[in-house]
Amino acid sequence: MLTAYKKMGLIGFLIVGLAAVCVLAAGRGQVPISPSEVAGSLLHRLGLGIGPLPSAVQGENALWLVRFPRVVLAVIVGASLGCAGALMQGVFGNPLAEPGVVGVSSGAAVGAAAAIVSGITVLGSWTTAAAAFAGGVVTTFIVYAMSRAGGRTEVVTLVLTGVAVNATAGALLGLLMFLTDDDGVRAIAFWQLGSLAQATWSAVAVAGPCALAGLAVAVALSRRLDLLALGERPARHLGVDTERLRIIAIVATALLTASAVAFTGIISFVGLIVPHLIRMIAGPGHRVLVPASALGGAVVVVTGDLIARTAIDYQELPLGVLTAVVGGPAFFWLLRRTRARAGGWG
């Protein structure tokens, strides 16, 4: 276990690491730009005439119209997923809770797909995000109501609830695909695979505030989430209004999931693996776990997206597929470990 000083060091390390992968990711692609030129371009826009400008033809445009929105959205999505995972695990008192696994991501995707298919645009560019949020809230409440017994959630119940919710959401997505035209089918298929290819500044402008609000709430709740680890009653004995905490946390989870899903589709397992790794390094205290999981999630998604778009020339791997390839086996390992420790599927 780390000391408080080292825990702050971990946060600092993650911030520096995130900045480094962001600069690296912004430089890689069909128009290569060196990290110093990326930094130079940024500083010039900030009004500081320091560092070299991109020397490549169209370099400045490639950075500001394509790469930066994509990297920033990757940071937002990753931070939302990591934070949502940590928050959900805290509220469920179960290290296997995660928006993708329990089906909240699918629920949010159904909401967003319904908005796409129906062509409703009452809220402008916010429509998809709002629909994803609504889908996320409804699903989180359903999962919460169905999987809890006596103040805690058993692993089996949680995972099986996730199976049921994911199956239902999959059916609804299939139905929406059946009802819509070719463009709609393509849009929904894109959802299920998960990708950052459609990142724009307007997407950032919608997902960013949702993510920030969710993150702020999660950080504010972190001390109370620690107490919740004792169980619902003991937490109340220590002054936590558990009913209120639960509702606020569920809304925040849905907000974070919506910001992660609204423009990129389902990117699973980030919220499961990242908080788990952070817990192994820094212990389960949420005051470090929540911000560190957000930063760690951002590092993972920015790196994952970099690999997804540069691994194969002139082709792009869907990011959701990539995270699932790594996350799936890691989930197996986590399940086995939890089982070994609990002496069964309790």
Partner 1 sequence: MKATGVSVSLGGRTVVSSVDLHVSPGEVVALVGPNGAGKSSLLAAVSGDLPSSGEVMVDERPLDSYKPIELARLRAVLPQKAALSFPFTVGEVVRMGRAPWSGRPEAAEDEDAVAEAMELTETTGFAARPFPALSGGEQARVALARVLAQRTPLLLLDEPTAALDLRHQELVLSVTRARAASGTAVIVVLHDLSLAAAYADRACVLAAGRVRSEGPPSSVFTPELLSEVYQHDVEVLPHPRTGTPLVVPRRP
Minimum distance between the CB of residue 33 and partner 1, rounded to whole angstroms?
43
Give the residue from 103, 80, 109, 26 showing the smallest Cα distance to 270: 80
If one asks whether residue 231 binds partner 1 (CB under 8 A), the answer comes out as yes
What is the DSSP code (8-state) at residue 253?
Answer: H
| Window of 46-54, 90-98, 157-165, 325-333 that interacts with partner 1 by CB under 8 A | 90-98
Q: Which residue has the tokens 């995707």?
A: 109
Minimum distance between the CB of residue 17 and partner 1, rounded to whole angstroms?
25
φ, ψ (nearest 5 deg) of residue 149: -145, 125
By beta-carbon proximity to partner 1, the closer residue of 153 and 268 is 153
CA distance 212 to 328: 28
If one asks whether residue 285 binds partner 1 (CB under 8 A), the answer comes out as yes
By beta-carbon proximity to partner 1, the closer residue of 183 and 243 is 243
By beta-carbon proximity to partner 1, the closer residue of 152 and 339 is 152
Minimum distance between the CB of residue 257 and partner 1, rounded to whole angstroms?
21
Distances (CA, A) of 293 to 100, 102, 108, 344: 16, 18, 21, 28
Tokens (6 digits) for 20: 């480094």
Give the residue from 45, 79, 44 showing the smallest Cα distance to 299: 79
Q: Out of 45, 186, 223, 336, point to the residue binding partner 1 (CB under 8 A).
A: 223
Tokens (6 digits) for 113: 């797909």
If one asks whether residue 234 binds partner 1 (CB under 8 A), the answer comes out as yes
Q: Out of 59, 82, 93, 271, point to the residue binding partner 1 (CB under 8 A).
A: 93
Minimum distance between the CB of residue 278 and partner 1, rounded to whole angstroms?
12
Do residues 20 and 12 lie in contact, with contact meaning Cβ atoms separated by under 8 Å?
no
If one asks whether residue 1 binds partner 1 (CB under 8 A), the answer comes out as yes
| Size of interface with partner 1, in residues (CB under 8 A) | 25
What is the DSSP code (8-state) at residue 149?
Answer: E
Q: Out of 26, 73, 75, 94, point to the residue binding partner 1 (CB under 8 A).
A: 94
If one asks whether residue 233 binds partner 1 (CB under 8 A), the answer comes out as yes
| Burial classification of residue 130, based on how many CB atoms lie within 10 Å of its CB (0-12 exposed, 13-18 middle, 19 or more buried) | buried
If one asks whether residue 95 binds partner 1 (CB under 8 A), the answer comes out as yes
List, in order, residues 6 or more apart from 147 with CB less than 8 Å away.
Answer: 92, 102, 153, 154, 157, 158, 161
If one asks whether residue 229 binds partner 1 (CB under 8 A), the answer comes out as yes
Binding site for partner 1 (CB under 8 A): 1, 93-95, 152, 223, 226-231, 233-234, 236-242, 279, 283-285
